[in-house]
Amino acid sequence: MPAPRFLLPVIGLAALLCAAGVALPSPAFALSRIKDLANVEGVRQNQLVGYGLVVGLNGTGDTLNNTPFTKQSLQAMLERLGVNTRGSTLRTANVAAVMVTANLPAFATQGTRLDVTVSALGDAKSLQGGTLLVTPLLGANGEVYAVAQGSVAIAGFQAEGEAAKITRGVPTVGRISNGALIEREVDFKLNTQKALRLALRNPDLTTARRIAAAINDFLGADTAEPTDPATVHIHVPGKYRGNMIQLLTEIEQLRVEPDHTARVVIDERSGIIVMGKDVRVSTVAVAQGNLTVTISEQPQVSQAQPFSQGETVVVPRTAVKVDTGDAAKLAVVKEGVTLRELVDGLNALGIGPRDLISILQAIKAAGALQADIEVM
């Protein structure tokens, strides 16, 4: 006869494991990588800009009489190519002056390519089908870091006739994929650095301290120190000198729990409200009511009696209705409620986003909202 088997309940098994000192997995906190919280000083993009000409347009380019800079640029380009147009009248509408912009990635090497954006500068109607001529791209120091050229691809279009016109997208802005060739590199030697600085994307004292503590625990020495809410200074240990990539690779994978200030973000144009989880309110009573006046016109026609030689007239009929919002009630929001309870309490008033914005601003003015309000 087989031996009887006993099954422990789930709760009993958990209690048994706890009594035996076996740790159960705890809920994971909202941990983020240092890589997602901070940037390494010096490892960043650089913005480039240039001025050039787009040719080959199908009559949708700049009007040379209205855009003298396009005419001057066209004449200067033709003179460099050995064509003298001084004193002559140019009537072409197939050329457009444009601004060319691009972002130079960090540690981009000479000879690699990057994407560029081409934007019309004059009164051109469309850049569709155009080709950008050789355009130097300058950095903030005035040096040429890349040269752009190629066919412009646009996502919008424009069509018009005698009495109607339709435009989809923005036909005066285009993009050239891999349209620029890097000619100069940014001189920054990461491996020779003896110290590093991490710049927090969202400055906060607590987050900076936690990042420094995580780095020190990993390296086993006090090498990281928060100098302000946005910066963590790292003294490179001796074993990582000349091998900065390994140090950064190991540091950026460390996980910490970021902290932030309680904040309510309001976009009044679209009525969007975003509230953080740390938003709290003191005890406050809220009432909301609107004065609505509705006026409706229903004119009636008054017909004269037969053989009365009278006239048919229109008699106005106006109905005016006033709603003072008497059904609105006074709601009490208790102190220290959570975000969910705060939202449920405000929704109980039956108000829309526009009125909710005014209520939140009024609660803040009363000193009962423990959060910053940021209006976009």
**Residue 75's CB: how many other CB atoms inside 10 A?**
17
Which of 149, 130, 108 has the alpha carbon at shortest distance from 56?
A: 130
Least confident interval from 196-210, 231-245, 285-299, 357-371: 285-299
pLDDT in tens, 134-157: 999 999 999 999 999 999 998 866
Residues 264-288 have pLDDT tens digits of: 888 877 778 888 777 877 777 766 6
173-185 per-position pLDDT tens digit:
999 999 999 999 8
Q: Which position has the higher pLDDT, 240 or 355?
A: 240
Place of tokens 């200074």: 233
Helix (H/G/I), strand (E/B), else coil: 58: coil
Quickly state the pLDDT bin for 2 (edges 50, 70, 90): very low
Q: How would DSSP label each residue in 213-228?
A: HHHHHHHTSS-EEEEE
Give phi and psi for 93, each to the nearest 5.
-120, 25
Q: Are the CB atoms for 200 and 231 separated by under 8 Å?
A: yes
Residue 111: φ, ψ to 5°: 100, -15
Residue with the two structure tokens 């997995």:
25
* Nearest residue to 261 via CA among 372, 374, 373, 376: 372
Q: What is the mean pLDDT of the chain?
A: 80
pLDDT in tens, 19-69: 344 444 444 457 899 999 999 888 889 999 999 999 999 999 999 888 899
What is the mean predicted confidence (pLDDT) over 231-259?
89
State both tokens at 214: 């995580």
Distance CA 181, CA 147 (A): 5
Looking at mean pLDDT, say which of 221-225, 240-244, 266-270, 341-345 comes out highest. Answer: 221-225
Per-residue tokens: 320: 């005016």
Over residues 309-321, mean pLDDT: 68
Alpha-carbon distance 245 to 134, whole Å? 36
Task: For residues 32 and 253, give the distance between their C-alpha atoms in angstroms, rounded to a whole number.
Answer: 9
Please write the tens of the pLDDT for every residue from 80-134. Answer: 898 888 777 888 899 999 999 999 998 899 999 999 999 999 999 999 999 999 9
- The confidence score (pLDDT) of residue 300 equals 74
Distance between CA 183 and CA 111 in Å, rounded? 6
| Threshold 0.85, pTM exceeds | no
Percent of the chain's residues with pLDDT above 70? 73
Q: Which pLDDT belongs to residue 7?
A: 37
Higher pLDDT, 321 or 360: 360
Amino acid of residue 156: G
Ordered by start, the domain boundaries in the chain are: 46-182, 195-256, 264-302+313-375
Position 191 scores a pLDDT of: 81
